[in-house]
Amino acid sequence: MGRSRDVWLRRFPGAGGGSGAEWELVCFPHAGGSAAYWRPLAVALGPGADVAAVQYPGRLDRLREAPVEDLHRLADLVVEALGPSGGRPRVLLGHSMGASLAYEVAVRLGRLPGGGPDLLVVSGRRAPAARRRDRYVPVEDHELVERVRALGGTDAALFDEPELLELVLPALRGDYRALSSYEDTGGRPLTCPVVALTGDRDPEATVEEVGAWGAQTSGAFRTHVFEGGHFFLNDHVEAVAGLVRRLLPTRAAG
């Protein structure tokens, strides 16, 4: 189990946290993204939170591994790596594709005795009930590049360098293949609270589409709308950190 965690989870030197922290936050990157995307949030949360970001195969220090092109298989692998929470409150936070993956991980953890997360935060992702029937999935490399540029992600500048482009495209292709074949776990499988975050100008997920996440849980649900597009998180790190702290169970919120 320890080796599996080392492969899948990344922590951030200088961001505090660690095994002595009061609660754990597990973060899931967007399509084409890496664990490093979550470093600013880890710093903002400080030493009270043990922030672990999932590093998908096929990028950065896992570049030589083939991307996992099935979100359900990816969720199974992450659950195996996470293991039990050890009695600490555990929060899952995913953005875009990572929101769907965090949801699937939450569903699987909830099937284990005492394994469910204390809170699921989904960001920039349409709820399963709001799936767009005419969803467009880019196929050609140039389509992938243009899509990432249009969304304004922090990794978009990588596509200006041909050498870097060759390194990141395999992971991006794999992620979009996973998205194109993904069918969510239906029904209302969660009992934990769910919080949905969205940007008011996000073309990928409208406020209404994100607000439908409440149908996936029997627990409490709320939506928070921020100013911005698909990557609104980049401009609201401190606000998101404060929001997560406020929504934690009482024993960890202090």
- Show which residues are catalytic: 96
Task: Show the tokens assigned to 22.
Answer: 């009061």
Place of tokens 């979009």: 176
Distance CA 198, CA 223 (A): 8
Q: Residues 181, 183, 188, CA angle at the centre, nearest 5°?
A: 165
From residue 251, how far is each of 29, 32, 84, 89, 194 by CA, in Å? 27, 35, 18, 8, 18
- Number of helices (H), then strands (E), belonging to the chain: the values are 9, 7
- Which residues are 13's β-sheet partners? none
**Structural contact between residues 74 and 46, judged by C-beta atoms closer than 8 angstroms:** no
Q: At what angle do helices 97-110 and 71-82 cross, to 10 degrees?
A: 60
Give the closest residue to 194 by CA, choosing from 130, 125, 253, 251. 125
Half-sphere exposure of 180 (CA within 13 A, CB side): 12
**Structural contact between residues 33 and 230, judged by C-beta atoms closer than 8 angstroms:** no
